Structure 1
């Protein structure tokens, strides 16, 4: 912006130089003309006066030379007197003078007499001499001529002095006007420069820039307007940034994959959930068409449906990801501006895999509960009806039927108890009665209680405690429940003559209990399901043993309630190994255990 100031100053300088040169030439010429006119008028008056004096003295032949010389000294002009025949009678500078052609000029003047009685002549050619002549008449007859000549040296000196004075005056005026003009130009361009700098900063996106405001300046309105514009832009930008941050926060924390596609089918935005779910990077797909990036045909078909119908859509799809199938509920909608201009579409993927899984578990649970309840109830009802139909009087049948009814009632009671127990463990407010538990003693007591059952099947139970004094913190009843179920299952699924090995090992912060049997084993693909409700590896065997199918589910939740771990290693035909890892110390806030994380 300084260029504007320099241009204005340069233009001012050119204008001043042009004006002052023209003014100087004009003043100089006027002075020169005025001086010459004055000089010539003076010479004319002097010449006329001398001619009058000569006429009064009686003519050119009676001239008093001394008096003329005295007059020449006073006038400081060269006086030449010529008679009517053209002869020079008197010349005050006859034997000197700078002008060598004086006589020639005298003759030229004599020839001019016939035209004019008085006259002037200016000789330049480096001499700058002025001539004036006047006729002398006696009785109206030409008696002679008086000629005055004078060098204009004083004119040149005055002329030089005039130019020096004009130069000083005009030069001083030039400097003063230049300083004042520069000051005015600076004051004129400074607010414009400030406004320009501010406008440039605003164009760069710096909305904090402000122009200087001066209420006494003619450009105050411009700068004030620019500042108002800057403040408005800053406010709008801040609001846009806040909106953008809010939108970004919503998009990134919406809890589901999100993708935006423009009207040309190019992907313009994806959130972090989309990156993580579909294992893609934003920089690899932003700007590309969805057909080039999305490899799932069902997703592309959904996008095309929204493009063609321009309607919202909601549907459930299943997509293979890695080694598992994922279920999604897809929400899609077109993006249309207020001016009804098509902008693109937005697609959200709600992962309902766990919901589907839970729904399947719920259905299986209801079906299994119904099945498990149906069998004993049917048995009880059937034998009761048989007794009422007449078998009541047959003592042997009565005793047999009543034993069966008792057995089925016990089984029904056990099923209801296990359901209530499982519900209690899975509740949000499970209270654990935490105290020190000697784990080896608990297991030994359980083995003693099951010796009769093991003896009936000729199964040998061997305990190898690494340390018989391992102490852990936990709920004694829950811990007993864990190992009663595990050891009972080992007895149920181990063939007669088999073995059960119980190994208790003390680790740094945990106690690990391994219960290994030589039973029928579990298929590899069935291992992840053994902790599901009502799941049985061998349904006939477990039902004959009186099991409800809820034991391992109870075990899993009880172990997790103690912040422990349980896993299974098994091989069909060679047996199974259930490994339980329990921490020695539990934090005090476990008196109330939130089992939400362990729900299936």
Structure 2
């Protein structure tokens, strides 16, 4: 900070200005007083001298009287005696300008007063030097009881001006000394005052930086000391409040971060204030869907509409939004500052799982009913035909019995798969793990589909590790997984299509990639691929269409191996399944 902006400079300048004004006024008054005093004294002295000379000359009309009169003059005085006989006598003394008798006699003020027998004192400019002034005293000369002339005594005020200049120099010198002493005293005093103020300023800057443990030393018990005590108490209280606010903010942040629901707060203008991770994921889904058209800080139009309704009506607003195949319920409520609405809060709940479970529940009942209705109807129909002797020959009865057997086997397989799936989801599956050579294992699984691939004119490409590598897993269960996945890929790949199976083994585990060039899976069906009774064929045709439990069982088997299975697909571009098993030492 610049010195002339500091408190020390301002107070010092104030003291200096005050002292300068006082000294200036005092100097003017003293000089005026001295000038007036010396002028009056000079006039009185000249008047007395002129009166004495006139009296002496009245008594002693000879040259002796003149000599006595000259003795009354000092070196700064001049005198002129004019007698009625036109005799003019000039004083031999005096260093002042000699005034001509004619000039003195022509002065109206002097001549009028002398003619009336009075003594007159006037002040004029020095005819020779305009910068100086002369004081002239004229008194009548009385000889033998009659006025016989006049006595003029004059003195220059140059001496008075020199005295005035000397006095001025003395006062200026005194003023300079006073200013120097005042400056020293002021800086000493102000240092004692501003030192604690500087400490407080530094402490205030520390507080502004966030260092709330700063304390100001108490250097005195005066008002500044009390200010330091108040400052320390303020810093202590502020530190306490900031810590409390930080704890509350951290607690609120933890609560918001730990919430499963998304939370967005808006101000009254609709600008975003606070979001938590689930809300940010919701906004990311929307931004991704909008591509480059969405700007930072924007929210879906539906959320904006709900916000405006909540602000306008002061009531809670609820609606559902679908983004990227997920379902979100948005609840917007107004926030109040006493009786005024200051913003709104939006709670965003991901209802995808609930909608998914609802769909699965409905589909499960429909699928189980569908899968069981057909074989049960066939069992019932053919058994009634046998009971009613509709079959005319043993061959027909045997054929009907075979159909009844096949359908019962199909029902048994469906029930067993449901039981296996239930046990797996309850984590009651037992894995019989052993060391398996991956290359030969994959060749064994792929050979089962050579005939089916050839029949459908589909290229089945297998890329297995060239070096024999063993992996610890349950071979029967993993064969079941790969069989289900490869079978799905072949069934949904058109003629002259391609199914590629790739296997990689490294230090982290084994990865199978099964990729086809089939019809693909729609975006809305993609989340349900590994759910029970999922079928890409919505008509649920029988035969090779399966029960829809294969991929659900495959997912549970892979997860039992602590791995994961995923699928990527686009309609018309094929489907890719990725199966990964980590290498776990047991």
Identify the TM-score tier after normalising by the shorter chain.
0.5 to 0.7
Assess if the C-alpha contact under 8 Å between 1:512 and 1:579 holds in 2: no
By how many angstroms is 1:31 displaced?
Answer: 1.9
Q: Using the alignment, how far apart are the partners of 1:431 and 1:91 within structure 2? A: 157
Which residue number corresponds to residue 276 of structure 1? 284
Assess if the C-alpha contact under 8 Å between 1:332 and 1:345 holds in 2: yes
Which residue number corresponds to residue 550 of structure 1? 549
Aligned mate of 1:27, from 11, 34, 41: 34
Q: Does 1:312 align with 2:308?
A: no
Q: Using the alignment, how far apart are the partners of 1:469 and 1:403 within structure 2? A: 48
- Normalising by structure 2, report the TM-score: 0.62
Note the alpha carbon deviations across 1:376-435, whole angstroms, 9 max, x for none: 788889999999999xxxx99999999888777765554444234324444579776654
Paired residues for 1:88-487 under 5 Å: 91=89, 93=91, 98-101=98-101, 105=105, 115-116=116-117, 119=119, 124=124, 126=126, 128-132=135-139, 135=142, 142=145, 150-152=153-155, 156-157=158-159, 159-179=160-180, 266-267=270-271, 269=273, 271=275, 272-273=280-281, 275-279=283-287, 284=295, 295-296=301-302, 302-303=306-307, 305-307=309-311, 309-315=313-319, 317-319=320-322, 321=323, 326-338=326-338, 340-369=339-368, 372=371, 414-426=413-425, 435-442=434-441, 470-473=468-471, 474-483=473-482, 485=484
Question: Mind listing any 5+ residue stretches in structure 2 that lack a counterpart?
Answer: 127-133
Q: Using the alignment, how far apart are the partners of 1:120 and 1:464 within structure 2? A: 145
Which residue number corresponds to residue 36 of structure 1? 43
By how many angstroms is 1:532 displaced?
Answer: 3.8
Which residue number corresponds to residue 598 of structure 1? none
Structure with bigger gyration radius: 1
Q: Using the alignment, how far apart are the partners of 2:221 and 2:481 within structure 1? A: 91
Assess if the C-alpha contact under 8 Å between 1:129 and 1:152 holds in 2: yes
By how many angstroms is 1:163 displaced?
Answer: 0.8
Q: Which structure is richer in relative contact order (CA contacts within 8 A, separation 6 or more)?
A: 1
By how many angstroms is 1:557 displaced?
Answer: 3.8
- Normalising by structure 1, report the TM-score: 0.61
By how many angstroms is 1:375 displaced?
Answer: 6.9
Assess if the C-alpha contact under 8 Å between 1:463 and 1:502 holds in 2: yes
Paired residues for 1:459-538 under 5 Å: 470-473=468-471, 474-483=473-482, 485=484, 507=504, 509=506, 512=512, 524=520, 531-535=530-534
Question: Mind listing any 5+ residue stretches in structure 1 that lack a counterpart?
Answer: 55-59, 572-576, 592-600
Q: Using the alignment, how far apart are the partners of 2:170 and 2:546 within structure 1? A: 127
| Closer/same/farther in 2, CA of residues 463 and 88 from structure 1, 3 Å limit | closer
| Closer/same/farther in 2, CA of residues 87 and 216 from structure 1, 3 Å limit | farther
3-state SS of paired residue (1:588)? coil
3-state SS of paired residue (2:145)? strand
Assess if the C-alpha contact under 8 Å between 1:256 and 1:350 holds in 2: yes
| Closer/same/farther in 2, CA of residues 250 and 284 from structure 1, 3 Å limit | farther
| Closer/same/farther in 2, CA of residues 239 and 245 from structure 1, 3 Å limit | same
| Closer/same/farther in 2, CA of residues 569 and 425 from structure 1, 3 Å limit | farther
3-state SS of paired residue (2:347)? strand
3-state SS of paired residue (2:480)? helix
Assess if the C-alpha contact under 8 Å between 1:556 and 1:566 holds in 2: no
Assess if the C-alpha contact under 8 Å between 1:564 and 1:580 holds in 2: yes
Assess if the C-alpha contact under 8 Å between 2:520 and 2:575 holds in 1: no
By how many angstroms is 1:437 displaced?
Answer: 0.9
Q: Using the alignment, how far apart are the partners of 1:10 and 1:22 within structure 2? A: 18
Aligned residues: 535
| Closer/same/farther in 2, CA of residues 504 and 246 from structure 1, 3 Å limit | closer
3-state SS of paired residue (1:534)? coil
3-state SS of paired residue (1:348)? strand
| Closer/same/farther in 2, CA of residues 41 and 252 from structure 1, 3 Å limit | farther
Aligned-residue RMSD, C-alpha = 6.6
| Closer/same/farther in 2, CA of residues 388 and 82 from structure 1, 3 Å limit | closer
Assess if the C-alpha contact under 8 Å between 2:57 and 2:69 holds in 1: no
Q: Using the alignment, how far apart are the partners of 2:107 and 2:481 within structure 1? A: 158
3-state SS of paired residue (2:43)? helix
Q: Using the alignment, how far apart are the partners of 1:142 and 1:541 within structure 2? A: 167
| Closer/same/farther in 2, CA of residues 534 and 241 from structure 1, 3 Å limit | closer
Assess if the C-alpha contact under 8 Å between 2:316 and 2:331 holds in 1: yes
By how many angstroms is 1:276 displaced?
Answer: 1.3
3-state SS of paired residue (2:166)? helix
| Closer/same/farther in 2, CA of residues 442 and 368 from structure 1, 3 Å limit | same
| Closer/same/farther in 2, CA of residues 132 and 434 from structure 1, 3 Å limit | farther
3-state SS of paired residue (2:174)? helix
Q: Using the alignment, how far apart are the partners of 2:442 and 2:317 within structure 1? A: 59
Note the alpha carbon deviations across 1:96-128, whole angstroms, 9 max, x for none: 993331797599999978854x74655856364
| Closer/same/farther in 2, CA of residues 43 and 563 from structure 1, 3 Å limit | same
